[in-house]
Amino acid sequence: MEDNKMKEGFLEKGNANFESRVYEKKDSLLDHMEINVIEAEKRENGALNIRDFYTVYLIETKVTDPEFNGAFSKISALWRRYSEFELLRTYLEVTYPYVVLPPLPEKKVMYTWQKVASDTFDPDFVDRRRAGLENFLLRVASHPVISHDHLFIGFLQQEEGWRESIKETGYLQLAESKLKALSVSVRLKQPDKRFEAIKNYGNELQSNLSNLLRVRARMVERLYGIHKLHANYGRIFSEWSAKEKEMGDGLQKAGHYLDSYAAGIDIPLEEEELFADQLKEYLFFAGALQSVCRRQEMLQYHLERAESAVASRTTEKDNVQKGGQHILCKTGLMTRLFGSADTDEVRELKVNLLDQRIQEGKSSIRNAQEELNDFAANALIDIERFQHQKVIDLRETLAGYVVLQVKMCRKGLQTWTHIRDCLEAIP
């Protein structure tokens, strides 16, 4: 019952009333700078038959605040590969583990239908990825914390030496160990119910968006097929018009309207892919939300291990001390069983060593508790920020999707209305 209340309390923040809450406006890089990914270009490495093709993206930045001193230059333009975007995001993930990081656009097309290009060098796919990468940069640049990271600003403006700068931070070694730790399943003695509710919500968000995208792909496939089948109507009406003198003009016009209807589905479905990309962003956002929860679990796990180690050594110390109190009456038996018994000096050394380890363990507990508390406080603040933005974005995306469906339906209604008028005009 209590778990359900915790979950309901978190989910309540996702309703329309949530955005009516007052949020303090915090400064971000986007308040001082314009950021655009304006074009993509295909390049190649190697020679002769051994060639490596890749795509680079041109990032343009312009400082709009004359008093802002955080940029390398007022105006900048440089090319970045997708792998460099991945490098940046991994660095941010390790450096700011409590942040629900914006995702990168997909590397390969997911939840697609057969007419959408899956080739990563296809111009349409590359342009959609360009838009996704720009959106990623804008998301990071609008964040009140990570937008001010000097290596992020360097990514935008430092053409030479950025890779070397980011490697010097030593984050690669941390990334390998921390990201591996996230893949390990742990069982906590006392899990934080707040993060349990958030993790469950992340799972449900991911599941709902996956199902939505899967159904959309099937619907698009059928919708495309139905529209294209109308071209058969158009062909039949056009052929029929040649055989009918009185009805010829009306049938021919009807055929043209049906041909136009069949061809007119391509552009709306291209627009619909943009809405699908926006839904995919939050599908990947759900994974980022779950990653924050797993990091909290790992910190909680380290705290519980430290507490367990101290409890174990305390018990061991008590046993050593109790053994000393009863050793006098059992000396003969202990000697026969084990050959010898600890002397008072040995027991005292053991107790002192255990005392030292217990104190070290308590220090580890305090550090682990402090790290966990700091992480939880920062994470909950950022999750609240994410939840607020999610409501705004998804409502806008779904509303836009509905408007597009209405436009397509109106187009169909208009087509059939014209056809009716053509047929009624037949003398």
- Predicted TM-score (pTM) of this structure: 0.83
Residue 27 makes CB contacts below 8 A (sequence gap 6+) with: 144
Q: Looking at domain 30-183, does it have CATH number 3.50.90.10?
A: no
Residues 100, 289: contact at Cβ < 8 Å?
yes
Write down the pLDDT at residue 117.
58
Please, what's the b/e burial string for 123-148 (b: 16 or more CB within 10 A of its CB; e: otherwise)? eebbebbbebbbbbbbbbbbbbbbbe
Do 233 and 415 contact (CB within 8 A), yes or no? no
What's 193-427's CATH class? mainly alpha
Which whole number is the average pLDDT over 39-57? 81
Fold matches, 30-183 and 193-427: no
Q: How far apart are CA 225 and CA 265, in angstroms?
A: 10
Can you give the pLDDT at residue 20?
35
Sorted by where each begins, the domain ranges of the chain are 30-183, 193-427
C-alpha span between 155 and 112 (Å, rounded): 32
The pLDDT tens digits for 247-282 are 888 989 999 999 999 999 988 988 998 999 999 999
Interval 186-197 mean pLDDT: 90
For 263, the 3-state DSSP assignment is helix
Closest residue by Cα to residue 56 from 78, 25, 72, 24: 78
Better pLDDT: 178 or 62:
62
Encoding tokens for residue 390?
Answer: 């999610």
Higher pLDDT, 389 or 319: 389
| pLDDT at residue 327, rounded to an integer | 46
Residue type, 250: G
Helical residues (DSSP H) of 99-170, grouped into ranges:
123-141, 150-157, 162-168
> What is the reported pLDDT for 118?
59
- Is a pLDDT exceeding 60 seen at residue 336? no
Residue 328's pLDDT is: 45
Assess whether pLDDT exceeds 60 at residue 219. Answer: yes
Sign of CA dihedral 269, 408, 398, 147: positive
- In this structure, what are the phi and psi dihedrals at residue 61, rounded to the nearest 5 degrees? -130, 150
Q: What is the pLDDT of residue 60?
A: 97
